[in-house]
Amino acid sequence: MLDCGMHMGFNDDRRFPDFSYITQNGRLTDFLDCVIISHFHLDHCGALPYFSEMVGYDGPIYMTPPTQAICPILLEDYRKIAVDKKGEANFFTSQMIKDCMKKVVAVHLHQTVQVDDELEIKAYYAGHVLGAAMFQIKVGSESVVYTGDYNMTPDRHLGAAWIDRCRPNLLITESTYATTIRDSKRCRERDFLKKVHETVERGGKVLIPVFALGRAQELCILLETFWERMNLKAPIYFSTGLTEKANHYYKLFITWTNQKIRKTFVQRNMFEFKHIKAFDRAFADNPGPMVVFATPGMLHAGQSLQIFRKWAGNEKNMVIMPGYCVQGTVGHKILSGQRKLEMEGRQVLEVKMQVEYMSFSAHADAKGIMQLIGQAEPEHVLLVHGEAKKMEFLKQKIEQEFRVNCYMPANGETVTLPTSPSIPVGISLGLLKREMAQGLLPDAKKPRLLQGTLIMKDSNFRLVSSEQALKELGLAEHQLRFTCRVHLHDARKEQETVMRVYSHLKSILKDHCVQHLPDGSVTVESILIQAAAHSEDPGTKVLLVSWTYQDEELGSYLTSLLKKGLPQAPS
Amino acid sequence: MKLYCLSGHPTLPCNVLKFKSTTIMLDCGLDMTSTLNFLPLPLVQSPRLSNLPSWSLKDGNAFLDKELKECSGHVFVDSVPEFCLPETELIDLSTVDVILISNYHCMMALPYITEHTGFTGTVYATEPTLQIGRLLMEELVNFIERVPKAQSASFWKNKDVQRLLPSPLKDAVEVSTWRRCYSMQEVNSALSKIQLVGYSQKIELFGAVQVTPLSSGYALGSSNWVIQSHYEKVSYVSGSSLLTTHPQPMDQASLKNSDVLILTGLTQIPTANPDGMVGEFCSNLALTVRNGGNVLVPCYPSGVIYDLLECLYQYIDSAGLSNVPFYFISPVANSSLEFSQIFAEWLCHNKQTKVYLPEPPFPHAELIQTNKLKHYPSIHGDFSNDFRQPCVVFTGHPSLRFGDVVHFLELWGKSSLNTVIFTEPDFSYLEALAPYQPLAMKCIYCPIDTRLNFIQVSNLLKEVQPLHVVCPEQYTQPPPTQSHRMDLMIDCQPPAMSYHRAEVLALPFKRRYEKIEIMPELADSLVPIEIKPGISLATVSAVLHTKDNKHVLQPPPRPTQPTSGKKRKRVSDDIPDCKVLKPLLSGSIPVEQFVQTLEKHGFSDIKVEDTAKGHIVLLQEAETLIQIEEDSTHIICDSDEMLRVRLRDLVLKFLQKF
């Protein structure tokens, strides 16, 4: 099972995946070999404790170490908002999160993990967020690559996704920005800073709803350096206690960030911020400009929503949405232009503050998706994690450019892909070397044929020479030999007839080894030709052509050739 | 398969393995024990060292005056220290395809190999190995370059001169290959050739061989390597440990079923127990400090020092040492301490779980925060202001020939209150101290070498069961100083093959099979026949394609239909290709059934005669004779091709094809 996410837009059953698609009766553990989590965002791991502890799954769950570290914290955060703040019942508990995390096995980049005798998985760097990974899933020579969410351009704290030319049968890729070709990162950053700066200059407050880990750190690095350069004084706050902890994770998992940060971390750790301070709930009512990073990112609950309610009425203020918002969330509503929001308790909130969207979420854009397909060279592509209309466009583009089949199944739909794997067998080195030595000069017209016997015993397949196969099985060779009598009209002595046969064959069979032996016989390769006098007719000679079944074709050819008679000897 | 052995030092190996079509260098260790023959490089002008008397030959010839100095009966070379390189002449090193590094101590000769031999391949190492290896090299270059020494002695190396010198100079080996230290530029260039790998990552080399690093448990990022093709497996075990210190535990299971296991890097102090040594280290340290003395610990900037700091962290409060300053002095001290905290994935389980909290995995972070441990790039600068005594100083280099340690030995050597504690096992402490004699300072020797001892090796070999073991010659006999200890050698069956420097070993290895892939279209056309219960056979006739060392069998091309046209056929077009052989036959022909079959196919007038070995079937009308014996059939007929083919096919019905 690839990822186990939750839907942010729902508060009922639809929030979690419908696991009855996997099995209606019977344990999930019997149906799944393993679960792979690509990164710590809740739309990829939010249903994990529900799945493993409430529905019931005891098999292995694979994720990278940063995901393993951060995932339980976000799950706990999410649980608190759902249960403690909204009072939802029938939700997973803290203990369930802990029990679920005990089933996790850490996977390191490029490490090949043997899940069982056949199945192996391998993680590749995906950018996107700290610890995000793409996974190659392989059985024998067949493989699937699942990208999770990825980013093909390095940003201020993460590197770019990378995969080798692994030629999977199927590439399952996200397609969040299936139709977007984003302008250069630098422009977006300048835009973002300009907007924040302008708002602060005119005394307004800027709210940036973020998830505690990921985009937040990138934007913090951006604002920190800007504040430093412009010598700005307006305070920047980061909400919740998660911040410091989050930055700590970035410091300890610095090997997962980009080259530049890794190189300089001994001199200066980019995740130690001077200008950014912890936020206190009371600060929201302070007069004067400020910038606040608050969680969660889609304004669907928690502190960011509280601050939004306080500031929404003032047109001097601004909210900047730096990432994608799922349908149903307040974030999605205000981004689609809604200015009157119905809140809990039938209250209507009028939004006068400026609403800005800045695509900072680190997904690959259409160009990036095409780039990844080019890198991996898959046989088929399957699009997920996107909107149907946009996917349709990308699907066509992929099919045109790469001439591969592209699929975009809806929820509940099954896609079946045909594959034709080749069969690995062991060839005896003697046979292979013999063939390779003879096949050094390839002849396009007459390709060499390798002859051998495939011995199949259980799952052990070996290709050996026919002689060896007979020997191994303790069987004797049965020799089948043919001797044909060919009558020739020739009154000369036998020796002379033989000479004529020899020179005739020699002139025709230029590529073959034709020999005249001292005992008076002629050989063509291993075919023996002898001449004898006819018992009754002295003007006729009898040629005995003798060959084994292995030389069948040449033997048959020689008899018919000799039957046509010999050319007249030049006198 | 051949193994070229380029190093004589069992813990600093350098071997080249030729396997299938690849040439793989396993480690490139640099033997630094050669530096013990040189005078120390003092950071601050040392009157004692500069006033040492010259040593000259007995015949009064004085040309060695400038090169050799005498100190307490030992003779030293007064020159820039030099290192003993791996053999470079035994094999053309430009043909090496890849270099596999097992840990940061075993890569110190890398710049000599990659920069000066025409090497154009790739080096594989884990990230901690690269980063800490870089720190070790940086420190070494820094130690040597910051004390420029004009003199580079070479007269003494002359063979005729060397044999007249006193021991140990007289017995020093391969002196002509000794080289001065590389530069930082060479280090950077060498390290840029490293490609990073993770444990259990499968790396394909030219499609012929797969190499995989496995955790070896000895140091951060240290690895053993498995080198395998589909049918052969060589394990390279170098610097492994079964003790639980900070690194990830050793992966033993993946070494199973090796055809050959190359075993290097065992403990250099097989008689010492590392745990006991750590205890002794702590108690001696405490004793000295309580008596008002200073403690000097010569060490590398990474590795055991992390464990020592962790022990001290737990020990200092209970031992009442909370107010004693601990100094760690190295040009890379800060980097080493910082790097140790970011390699969570390479640490043992306990330390990994700390990172999930999130807390730094090593407690030295807290020692630094509370100012109990301070680190400095050198004794110059800030350190001279902060320096308080009594104190504990960790500094390099363990050879005592260069680095800040030279200064502290000169400074503290005269007082018996002070103690020097040797923990690194790479250098004999008596030899290391020789140029400082006479010395009043106390010397404690507690070498901590966590690598495998002979009991652990014997258990490991029982566990992983390699067919053959290959190891340095030092491991096949007891150590020279303890020749009665028959337990201090490798004991396995069959006996281990041993090697020495500059030897070429032919490994006992017979390759029999190679992987080949049968294309699905060809596989579909195969017709297996069950020949014995559970064993099926299929004759295969296919076209062999080989590309990038991968072999593929494709279906034979369809015979091209002769084009109907007036085009004149050439005689040679008809000649069959003799290289296309028919399959072999097996089985025997039951005469009675064969005759019945003949009759069924319209042959009459059949006569059967018995012979000594079988039967003769006569078709009198057709003047044809068929000799049938147990293992052969001979059809003798006139040149009636139709008849012959009919008979042939009837005979074949009774036989199996191979």
A508: which chain B residues are within 8 Å (Cβ-Cβ)?
A: 571-572, 575
The pLDDT tens digits for B164-176 are 888 889 888 889 8
User: Which pLDDT band holds residue A415 (cuts at 50, 70, 90)?
Assistant: very high
Cα atoms found within 13 Å of the Cα of residue B409, Cβ hemisphere only = 33
The pLDDT tens digits for A1-36 are 999 999 877 878 888 999 998 888 888 999 999 999
Q: Is residue B402 pLDDT above 60, yes or no?
A: yes
- Any idea which residue has 């020699």 for tokens? A506
Instruction: Say how far residue A284 (Cα) sits from the centre of its chain.
Output: 45
B584: which chain A residues are within 8 Å (Cβ-Cβ)?
A: 466-467, 470, 477, 550
Separation CA A204–CA A50 (nearest Å): 42
Q: Is residue B30 pLDDT above 50, yes or no?
A: yes
A&B contacts, CB < 8 Å: 264
The pLDDT tens digits for B257-277 are 999 999 999 999 999 999 999
User: Which pLDDT band holds residue B561 (cuts at 50, 70, 90)?
Assistant: low
- Any idea which residue has 């001696």 for tokens? B284
A111: which chain B residues are within 8 Å (Cβ-Cβ)?
A: 198-201
Predicted confidence at residue A570, as pLDDT, reads 52
- As a whole number, the mean pLDDT across chain A is 88
Take residue B346 and report the two structure tokens written for it.
């390479």
Query: Chain B residue closest to A252 (CA)?
Result: B342
Q: Is residue A278 pLDDT above 90, yes or no?
A: no
Cα atoms found within 13 Å of the Cα of residue B607, Cβ hemisphere only = 10
Query: Chain A residue closest to B336 (CA)?
Result: A266
| Polymer length of chain A | 571
Separation CA B644–CA B650 (nearest Å): 10
B537 to A113: CB separation less than 8 angstroms, yes or no: no
B546 to A436: CB separation less than 8 angstroms, yes or no: yes
Please name the CATH architecture into which domain B274-445 falls. 3-Layer(aba) Sandwich (3.40)
A265: which chain B residues are within 8 Å (Cβ-Cβ)?
A: 338, 342
B338: which chain A residues are within 8 Å (Cβ-Cβ)?
A: 265-266
CA distance B293 to chain A (A): 33
Q: Is residue B32 pLDDT above 60, yes or no?
A: yes
Averaged pLDDT, B63-92: 91
- As a whole number, the mean pLDDT across chain B is 91
Q: What is the DSSP letter of A118?
A: S
B571 to A508: CB separation less than 8 angstroms, yes or no: yes
Predicted confidence at residue B309, as pLDDT, reads 96
> Which of the pair, B133 or A283, is modelled with greater confidence?
B133
User: Which pLDDT band holds residue A56 (cuts at 50, 70, 90)?
Assistant: very high
> Which of the pair, B230 or A240, is modelled with greater confidence?
B230
The pLDDT tens digits for A119-139 are 999 999 999 889 999 999 999
Separation CA B482–CA B93 (nearest Å): 37
Predicted confidence at residue A437, as pLDDT, reads 76
Q: Does the annotation count A174 as an active-site position?
A: yes
Separation CA A332–CA B507 (nearest Å): 68
Averaged pLDDT, A171-188: 81
CA distance A432 to chain B (A): 8
What is the residue extent of each domain of chain B?
2-270+451-506, 274-445, 585-657
Looking at chain B, the whole-number percentage of residues with pLDDT higher than 70 is: 97
Separation CA B316–CA B187 (nearest Å): 38
Q: Is residue A211 pLDDT above 80, yes or no?
A: no
User: Which pLDDT band holds residue A441 (cuts at 50, 70, 90)?
Assistant: low
| Contact in structure between A516 and A531 (CB atoms under 8 Å) | no
Burial, A377: exposed, middle or buried (Cβ in 10 Å; 0-12, 13-18, 19+)?
middle
Predicted confidence at residue A259, as pLDDT, reads 87
The domain B585-657 is placed in CATH, from the list 2.30.29, 3.30.310, 3.40.220, 2.60.40, at 3.30.310
> What angle in degrees, to the nearest 10, is found between the helix axes of A94-101 and A65-79?
170
Averaged pLDDT, A33-59: 95
Choose the weakest-confidence range: A244-248, A560-564, B115-119, B213-217: A244-248
Predicted confidence at residue B563, as pLDDT, reads 52
The pLDDT tens digits for B143-157 are 999 988 777 888 898
A549 to B648: CB separation less than 8 angstroms, yes or no: yes
CA distance A405 to chain B (A): 21
Q: Is B567 helix (H, G, I), strand (E, B) or coil?
A: coil
* Interface mutation vs chain A, best among B130, B215, B340, B540, most A CBs within 10 Å: B540
Choose the weakest-confidence range: A136-140, A243-247, A502-506: A243-247
User: Which pLDDT band holds residue A571 (cuts at 50, 70, 90)?
Assistant: very low
Predicted confidence at residue B282, as pLDDT, reads 95
Separation CA A215–CA A128 (nearest Å): 9
Please name the CATH architecture into which domain A185-357 falls. 3-Layer(aba) Sandwich (3.40)
What is the residue extent of each domain of chain A?
13-180+362-407, 185-357, 425-473, 481-564
Side chain identity at B160, as an amino acid letter? D
User: Which pLDDT band holds residue B559 (cuts at 50, 70, 90)?
Assistant: low
| Contact in structure between A207 and A304 (CB atoms under 8 Å) | yes
Averaged pLDDT, B347-358: 92
Q: Is residue B348 pLDDT above 60, yes or no?
A: yes
A563: which chain B residues are within 8 Å (Cβ-Cβ)?
A: 639
Q: Which residues of chain B from 341 to 360 reach within 8 Å of chain A, CB to CB?
A: 341-345, 352, 355-356, 358, 360
> What angle in degrees, to the nearest 10, is found between the helix axes of A65-79 and A242-252?
170
Predicted confidence at residue A445, as pLDDT, reads 54
- The correct answer on CATH 3.40.50.150 for the domain covering A13-180+362-407 is no
* Interchain contact A463–B (C-beta under 8 A): yes
Side chain identity at B181, as an amino acid letter? C
Maximum CA extent, chain B:
122
Predicted confidence at residue B566, as pLDDT, reads 47
Q: Is A162 helix (H, G, I), strand (E, B) or coil?
A: coil
Separation CA A408–CA A384 (nearest Å): 7
Averaged pLDDT, B540-552: 87
Closest among B391, B380, B377, B295 to B333, alpha carbons compared: B377
Closest among B355, B423, B361, B417 to B394, alpha carbons compared: B423
A255 to B648: CB separation less than 8 angstroms, yes or no: no
Q: B23 φ, ψ to 5°?
A: -120, 115
Predicted confidence at residue B174, as pLDDT, reads 86
Per CATH, which fold does B2-270+451-506 belong to? Metallo-beta-lactamase; Chain A (3.60.15)
A422 to B552: CB separation less than 8 angstroms, yes or no: yes
Q: Where are the alpha helices (DSSP H) in B302-404?
A: 304-315, 333-340, 349-355, 364-369, 382-386
Closest among A454, A388, A394, A398 to A426, alpha carbons compared: A454
Take residue B292 and report the two structure tokens written for it.
């008002």
Closest among A360, A286, A365, A283 to A320, alpha carbons compared: A360
Predicted confidence at residue B556, as pLDDT, reads 85
CA distance A293 to chain B (A): 22
Side chain identity at A141, as an amino acid letter? S
Looking at chain B, the whole-number percentage of residues with pLDDT higher than 90 is: 68
* Interchain contact A454–B (C-beta under 8 A): yes
Given the residues A174, A218, A224, A356, select the one marked as catalytic.
A174
CA distance A297 to chain B (A): 23
CATH code for the domain defined by A481-564 = 3.30.310
Averaged pLDDT, B291-303: 96
Q: Which residues of chain A from 350 to 369 reach within 8 Å of chain B, CB to CB?
A: none
Q: Which residues of chain A from 23 to 52 reach within 8 Å of chain B, CB to CB?
A: none
> Which of the pair, B573 or B530, is modelled with greater confidence?
B530
Q: Is residue B380 pLDDT above 50, yes or no?
A: yes
